[in-house]
Amino acid sequence: MFWAVDVDDEKKQAQAAAIAGAAQSVKPRGRKAGPRRGMQAQQHRTGRRRSRELWRRQAKAAPAELACEPAARSPSPAFTTRPPTPRPAPEWRDPQVTTVMIRNIPNRLKPAEMMQLLDDHCARENRKEKAGDVPAAYDFLYLPMDFSLCCNLGYAFVNLTSAQAARGLHAALHGARWTVFGTNKVIDICAARIQGKRALVKHFSNSTFPCATDDWLPAVFSPPRDGAADPSVAGEATRVGTRVTPATPLPATPRAQRLAGKPVVRGRRQRGVAKPSSATRCM
């Protein structure tokens, strides 16, 4: 009988030891036991320490105003988006092209706004000018207008002072989109048929323009305009051609009223007023 009791005690002790060994062998879930976890933690602490030290060195080396203020991005061009990249090179036969034709212009753009676009471009080019570069400037501008509809014909002629400036204008505006008047037109710049300031002045000197303002005539600038902020430095405009006052007032069509920003007056056409032909409509 005593022998049976001893056997039962030994069985219970063996079972208790087995349960205790199993409990010690079970590893907690979600953790990586062993030396690898310790090495990773040490490397993480070392990396954070090094990054803090590097940041402190940079903060001491850089001025306070540069460390606080982020780098300012240059504003977008006037009236247009930035050109696509890569920028295509101009396909001109003559490498000395200075007079270009800008096409796909919004019809409601005025000559003063076209001048503002060119001034903004020249100012940008001259700010990033390097040693030995020719400054960007222009000395002739003509935006043909439809006098009956008070809008332009969709193209303009510009003469730059150098071939390098003409290529710079092509690189900055060719392929860009307009951001005014809700148009989706893409700017296209090509070489003009008449090259040079003298040839342009000779071509338009004998022309007559039946309009009410000199702002719609071809303009020659002396000295050339280079986008200077000071108006006294900018070249004064000398008009080319002869302006004549129309003998009869031009018909106030609904489209002309809309383009001029006036309320549209619709009704029966007056007698004796000719209907504008298709040749005088905006392209």
Mean pLDDT of 107-123: 92
pLDDT surpasses 80 at 93 = yes
For 252-272, what is each residue's pLDDT tens digit? 556 655 655 566 555 554 444
- The average confidence (pLDDT) of the chain is 76
Q: Please, where are the H alpha helices in 62-195?
A: 64-68, 111-127, 163-173
- And the tokens for 208? 């007559």
Q: What is the CA radius of gyration of the chain?
A: 38
DSSP tally for the chain: helices H, then strands E = 7, 10
List domains and CATH numbers for the chain: 99-259 (3.30.70.330)
User: Residue 68: which pLDDT band, with cuts at 50, 70 and 90?
Assistant: very low
**Letter string b/e over residues 43-70, b meaning 16 or more CB atoms within 10 A of that residue's CB:** eeeeeeeeeeeeeeeeeeeeeeeeeeee
CA distances from 78 to 165, 229, 230, 235 (A): 18, 15, 18, 20
Distance CA 208, CA 202 (A): 13
The band of 2, judged by pLDDT with boundaries at 50, 70 and 90, is very low
* pLDDT confidence of residue 191: 93
Per-residue pLDDT, 143: 94
219 pLDDT higher than 60: yes
